[in-house]
Amino acid sequence: MLNLAVLITHEIDSAYWEEWTLFGIPGGIQVFDVFNLVLVFVFLEGLRRLVLRERRGYQFSLFLVAAGLFAVVAHSYFLALGRPEFRLPVSLALIAATFVLSVAQGVVTVRSLRAANT
């Protein structure tokens, strides 16, 4: 749940930095908002299924891990290029926390899946 909260907060931060411009997404804030509405719904549905210990919940958990790691890699790339976005301390902390939490969540999810299969 902490990883989800950090990623949602990162998406709020992304609106400040106009992330759609960084990624070249047409439609501006309108498309960005709709994308994030769908994304948050999908992850909340995944959390619900995980709480119910449904196998699909573990798949959603791995999807969240992948989304978090994608965000970290993409933003690390843009930071390495010298882009000015996401350089405030909290922005950087959210990206770092996303990395740590995504790796930890991935390990826990894989272990849980293995335990369920034995």
Enumerate the domain spans of the chain.
Answer: 2-116
pLDDT band for position 118 (cuts 50, 70, 90): confident
- In the predicted structure, residue 113 carries a pLDDT above the cut 80: yes
Q: In this structure, what token pair is assigned to residue 116?
A: 């369920």
pLDDT at 116: 84
pLDDT digits (tens, 9 = 90+) for 16-70: 999 999 999 999 999 999 999 999 999 999 999 999 999 999 999 999 999 999 9
pLDDT at 117: 82
What are the angstrom distances between the C-alpha of 110 and each of 7, 30, 39, 62, 84?
20, 36, 22, 8, 36
The predicted model scores a pTM of 0.91
